[in-house]
Structure 1
Amino acid sequence: MYKQVLDPVGDSLFASALVAMIPLATLFILLGGLKLRAHIAGLAALAVSMVIAIVVWGMPFGTTVAAATEGAAFGLFPIMWIVWNAIWIYNMTVDTGHFAVLRRSFATISDDQRIQAVIIAFCFGALLEALAGFGTPVAITAVMLIAVGFKPMKAAAVALVANTAPVAFGAIAIPIVTLAGLTDIPKEDLGAMVGRQTPLLALFVPLILVGMVDGARGVRAVWPAALVGGVTFAVGQFVCSNYISVELTDIFASLLSVAAMVGFLRVWQPGDPLLVENEGGGRPAIAGAAAHDAAHEATVRRREGHGKDSPREVFEAYAPYLIIIVIFALAQVGPIKDFLANGAHKFTWPGLGEVTNADGEPPSAVTYNFNWLPAAGTLLLICGLITMAVLRISPGRALRSYVATLNQLKWATLTVAAVLGLAYVMNISAQTLSIGTWIAGAGGVLAFLSPIIGWLGVAVTGSDTSSNSLFGVLQVTAAKEAGLDQTLLAAANSSGGVLGKMISPQNLAIGAAAVGLDGEEGELFRRVFGWSVALLLVMCVLVYLQSTAVLSWMVV
């Protein structure tokens, strides 16, 4: 039996929280400061968290190992299961030359890379977040940016920063639905409140992306287009979350945003466009030469050329992403969703059956959900099989591409397994709860600090859903004790959490692996950390003002 305790260090919550921060400090210092590879930093931080769990929190050795293995398993499924299949689909389009066609097609909308960053990473990424989540937008949009000519590091950084505003409503609003179930606050109220917070991020993010691509000069040149994309997304997110449907919020907002941008770009284009900085993309096509197929190689080389593409080739270039949208949309249809749900199985992870929280109940983290059929990764695998048929890829070539993908992602896989192992050890031992509870005791300034709790949860776990599961009830309890609005602080947990997504080692590993930069996670972390903190500060100020008379009218 292991009962979670929040203040094992001298019965002091403050001292316990400081000790609990040591694994996180280890992770980010090794990653961002000493520039170690992410899998090494992750394994080191995992080891530190296990020692602290055993020595300080008193968790039995076997229970600690079980927590670490459950986290690693969750890292492999469903997280890396999504990434493997998403990158496999991309690699197949590279092998056939269809990504070169896609690059030229995007150029017909605008050949300006600053605008392409907004359309691909922000608008299309939001749609992928709406349908799948769990790292899928970062993996797919990063390689799409490479396809239109971005350098790998810039592509990964832009994809990570773009994956912010949509996250709270991602995967058909799973983070908010989960939060509602834990706090007993209606999902409509939570969704409406989040819809009065995250749209502010949507106003800033497109301009930030443009600045990341081309600095202040770029912002001055294309701010009208960036503003159109951001404002329409923000309006769509607010309207849908408050008046239409929480689950459809990101789908509605992303489609509205991309339609507005495409329409606007028909009548306006920047006078001095920023053209491709790395012609042909950052990764060469594997092409038919690898398979000694002369006819295939000739077809690929023609597609990678600069000639006019036929309507069929353009359709085939977009087909994998159209297939993803259709399959994920169909998966939300009542009868199909019910059928897929039959392939989900929950069980208590071996070795964690006797863990209880302070109330004597098992924490939610000890339950492993093996939802093999409705998982986003499984749906992406189905999309990949359909893509094989549409692009006429032989099973042998598709299998070779899958093996190459697994090899490409081997270090990212180890990183994600280590980081999720760290997250689960910290969660189940109550190290993370000690940190969150200490912050929650801040009294009057709790509203300002509330988004930081959610940010911390996502930075550790890589998931807004997991952060809401971890800290949602804590936020509501702290709000009640501080005399603050419970819906406001619960929503702030989710809204603040979205800004931890870009610095989560899990997502850093996914982004780096997607663009072929294994081992460069530290550099990627340094590129996005400042934006994460700056936007978090904006969210903290907003939530604080919403808790006062200044913006209390915004509270549900």
Structure 2
Amino acid sequence: MVWKQVTDPFNNITLSVLVAAIPILFIFWALIIRRMKGYQASLIATGLALLLAIGLYGMPAGLALLSVAHGALYGLFPICWLVIMAVFLFNITVASGQFEIIKHVMASITADRRLQALLIAFSFGSFLEGTAGFGAPVAITAAMLVGLGFNPLYASGICLIANTAPVAFGSIGIPITVASQVSGIPELPISQMVGRTLPILSALLPFYLVSIIAGLRKAREITPALLVSGLSFALLQFASSNFLGPALPDVIAGLGSILSLMVFLRFWKPRTIWRFDNEPAPTPTTAVHYSGGQIIRAWSPFIVLTVLIIAWGLQPIKEVLNATGQVQFEFPGLHNAIQSESGALLPKLFKLNYLSAAGTAILLAALLALPLVGLPYRQGLTIFGATLSQLKFPILTVAAVLGFAYILNDSGITLTLARVLASTGVLFPFFAPVLGWLGVFITGSDTSANALFSKLQYATAESIGVDPVVTVGANVSGGVVGKMISPQSIAVAAAAGNLVGHESQLFRFTVKHSFFMLLFICFITLAQAYLISWIIPTYELTDVKNTPAPPNPSNGYPYLVGLAVLLAGLVSVILRTAKPAAPVSASTEN
């Protein structure tokens, strides 16, 4: 039995849109006004979406339930798999006592919370987004900031907001790759279009983040550092996205801004060290000294993590891991059981890439980190059990959120909302980023939002005489500012920042910033379409029917051998240089 999607169940698009918006409006009401816990809001919203899909859109109940199950399964893997492993790795570092050394090192660079946020949330988070994506940057950076002594709400909130600028180029450029495949526009012009929009936001983001944390006056106090951080990131993001393509902007810009700010801070210091209210001032003590080996040992989990995340992002390694460690199957009862309005059957596959998933790279980093930080594997097992207990509600939340996203998409509810935005005529370039924002809010992924709406963006722009690369790029750029309020992202950040049960606080913290940045990108896109059209890159369309050459897994074996040799050497060096002797005295810094 095949069921055909409908996008206007009332034959009145205005009424259909008002009804389709109910589950999304409920999420906003539940988290902002009612202040529900994340898992409660997600489960009720999923129930509402099921009722609409079955009762008003005519979706068979069996298909609707299978759709929710498909989404929930995707929420468990790879999303929850990644979050669990990221928090597990961090918990290992804390349990071993090595995070105290990391705190000391960070304070030696700067004890100023404003600058620590830039280094970790903005720059390091961007690097992680470029290599791993899918929740890893927020999970790792939020946990690190909380461990350093940040207020959990601010730690999680600013990590979500900082994770906007790099999302478009995340996971080695996958969001733009998908937008290219769906729209037929080559990757490079989409990368160039996005790279002529987001660097503006990137340059302003450090000042914006610090203003949120400390206020405008305190942000102005460190203007030189903000300029170094933001401009170095923006210039590198612009150059790499325009001349190299979508794969490396986050990695290059993230590392470049870290190095630029660290070098700058060797020659410049803020006049006052800013801390949170009621937080004790740092108490430096010359009695504390850690050797280079001890510092390397403390950072070793994140050094190993960085190496593995980069390796897992390399296409030859992905191919060999998928060839030996991937199970893909058609989702029973759902595959090809739904027909789009265009008549195409929707494939519903589930891919269990248990080796190439980013969460597996983090697990391997954790297993290697245990002996490096001096913990036995038996204790590691205990820490893992405690991590699962810590994350039981976030796991439920993420599974419910992805079930919610899948039923909205499969039933046609998402397409109803998209249809009204696409009917705005010459104003469509202004609303094009809203479509991307909506897609990421629902699915939690810029990649998924581009898969959903890139073709619609292309067709609508062509119909009104606007270059389609503007609106396809806007879908990507608008989506990045929806990431910070996606229920999936909120659940991940709450789990990492010890805010389980307080997701509503986090949502209320980020939602106004999401709307403000969305409006900013809407005006930029409108200007690109009509006022500064000279900024649009020239390109030729690709044939979307062309099938890429089949992967050759054997190409990845030399990479894996090289990775093994590199890791063996790295572990050997760390174990040889690390000294077990304790420092002269315990650090008194927070």
State the TM-score bracket (shorter-chain normalisation).
over 0.9
Deviation at 1:278, TM superposition (A): 7.5
Q: How does 1:49-68 map to 2 (within 5 A)?
A: 49-68=49-68
Normalized against structure 2, the TM-score is what? 0.88
Q: How does 1:94-133 map to 2 (within 5 A)?
A: 94-133=94-133
Matched, 1:171 2:171: yes
Residue matched to 1:329: 310
Distance 1:108 1:386, change over 3 A: same
Residue matched to 1:477: 459
Deviation at 1:99, TM superposition (A): 1.1
Residue matched to 2:7: 6
Residue matched to 1:444: 426
Q: How far apart, in 1, do the equivalents of 2:320 and 2:286 lie?
A: 45
The code of the aligned residue for 1:216 comes to L
Q: How far apart, in 2, do the equivalents of 1:251 and 1:107 lie?
A: 24
The code of the aligned residue for 1:253 comes to A
Secondary structure at 2:174 match in 1: helix
Contact 1:142 / 1:155 at 8 angstroms: preserved in 2?
A: yes
Deviation at 1:18, TM superposition (A): 1.5
The code of the aligned residue for 1:327 comes to L
Contact 1:464 / 1:497 at 8 angstroms: preserved in 2?
A: yes
Secondary structure at 2:313 match in 1: coil
Q: How far apart, in 2, do the equivalents of 1:57 and 1:485 lie?
A: 34
Deviation at 1:307, TM superposition (A): 2.5
Deviation at 1:352, TM superposition (A): 1.1
Distance 1:362 1:306, change over 3 A: farther
Matched, 1:541 2:542: no
Contact 2:96 / 2:374 at 8 angstroms: preserved in 1?
A: no
CA offsets, 1:291-347, max 9 Å, x none?
xxxxxxxxxxxxx99832222221122111111111121223454232112133433
Contact 1:148 / 1:280 at 8 angstroms: preserved in 2?
A: no
Secondary structure at 1:351 match in 2: coil
Residue matched to 1:198: 198
Q: How far apart, in 1, do the equivalents of 2:49 and 2:233 lie?
A: 40
- 1:311 paired residue among 292, 301, 320: 292
The code of the aligned residue for 2:116 comes to Q
Q: How far apart, in 1, do the equivalents of 2:358 and 2:218 lie?
A: 36
Contact 1:346 / 1:369 at 8 angstroms: preserved in 2?
A: yes
The code of the aligned residue for 2:535 comes to M
Secondary structure at 1:147 match in 2: helix
**Identical aligned residues as a percent:** 40
Q: How does 1:14-413 map to 2 (within 5 A)?
A: 14-275=14-275, 307-342=288-323, 343-353=325-335, 354-363=337-346, 366-413=348-395
Contact 1:149 / 1:277 at 8 angstroms: preserved in 2?
A: no
State the Cα RMSD in Å. Answer: 1.7
Q: How far apart, in 1, do the equivalents of 2:453 and 2:72 lie?
A: 21
Deviation at 1:141, TM superposition (A): 0.6
Q: How far apart, in 2, do the equivalents of 1:78 and 1:34 lie?
A: 30
Distance 1:347 1:481, change over 3 A: farther
Q: How does 1:521-540 map to 2 (within 5 A)?
A: 521-540=503-522
Residue matched to 2:471: 489
Deviation at 1:276, TM superposition (A): 6.5
- 2:402 paired residue among 416, 420, 425: 420
Secondary structure at 2:351 match in 1: strand
Residue matched to 1:503: 485
Deviates more, 1:60-69 or 1:395-404: 395-404
Q: How far apart, in 2, do the equivalents of 1:92 and 1:505 lie?
A: 27
Q: How far apart, in 2, do the equivalents of 1:546 and 1:536 lie?
A: 15
CA offsets, 1:414-436, max 9 Å, x none?
11111110100000001001101
Contact 1:31 / 1:522 at 8 angstroms: preserved in 2?
A: yes
Residue matched to 1:553: 534
Q: How far apart, in 1, do the equivalents of 2:286 and 2:357 lie?
A: 38
CA offsets, 1:369-422, max 9 Å, x none?
222211111111111111113213211111111111111111111111111101
The code of the aligned residue for 2:35 comes to K
Q: How far apart, in 2, do the equivalents of 1:131 and 1:536 lie?
A: 25
Deviation at 1:188, TM superposition (A): 1.0
Residue matched to 2:555: none
Distance 1:105 1:453, change over 3 A: same
Contact 1:100 / 1:280 at 8 angstroms: preserved in 2?
A: no
Structure 2 alignment gaps of length 5 or more: 538-590
Secondary structure at 2:329 match in 1: strand
The code of the aligned residue for 1:324 comes to L
Contact 1:416 / 1:506 at 8 angstroms: preserved in 2?
A: yes
Deviation at 1:472, TM superposition (A): 1.2
Matched, 1:453 2:454: no
Structure 1 alignment gaps of length 5 or more: 282-303
Q: How far apart, in 2, do the equivalents of 1:104 and 1:110 lie?
A: 10
Distance 1:371 1:277, change over 3 A: farther
Distance 1:74 1:274, change over 3 A: same
Deviates more, 1:453-462 or 1:343-352: 343-352
Q: How far apart, in 2, do the equivalents of 1:310 and 1:37 lie?
A: 45
The code of the aligned residue for 2:251 comes to I
The code of the aligned residue for 2:455 comes to V
Secondary structure at 1:368 match in 2: strand
Contact 2:187 / 2:245 at 8 angstroms: preserved in 1?
A: no
Moved over 4 A (4+): 276-281
Residue matched to 2:417: 435
Contact 1:168 / 1:464 at 8 angstroms: preserved in 2?
A: yes
Deviates more, 1:48-57 or 1:99-108: 99-108
Q: How far apart, in 2, do the equivalents of 1:509 and 1:334 lie?
A: 30
Distance 1:156 1:334, change over 3 A: closer
Secondary structure at 1:191 match in 2: helix
Q: How far apart, in 1, do the equivalents of 2:339 and 2:237 lie?
A: 38
Equivalenced residues, count = 531
Q: How far apart, in 2, do the equivalents of 1:230 and 1:172 lie?
A: 21
Q: How far apart, in 2, do the equivalents of 1:25 and 1:450 lie?
A: 20
Contact 2:171 / 2:313 at 8 angstroms: preserved in 1?
A: no
Q: How far apart, in 2, do the equivalents of 1:146 and 1:31 lie?
A: 23
Contact 2:42 / 2:397 at 8 angstroms: preserved in 1?
A: yes
Q: How far apart, in 2, do the equivalents of 1:375 and 1:207 lie?
A: 34
CA offsets, 1:494-526, max 9 Å, x none?
100000111011111111111211111111111
Deviates more, 1:338-347 or 1:257-266: 338-347
Distance 1:90 1:263, change over 3 A: same
Q: How far apart, in 2, do the equivalents of 1:40 and 1:363 lie?
A: 30
Contact 2:228 / 2:260 at 8 angstroms: preserved in 1?
A: yes
The code of the aligned residue for 1:87 comes to V
Deviation at 1:280, TM superposition (A): 9.7
Normalized against structure 1, the TM-score is what? 0.93
The code of the aligned residue for 2:458 comes to V
Q: How far apart, in 2, do the equivalents of 1:16 and 1:389 lie?
A: 58
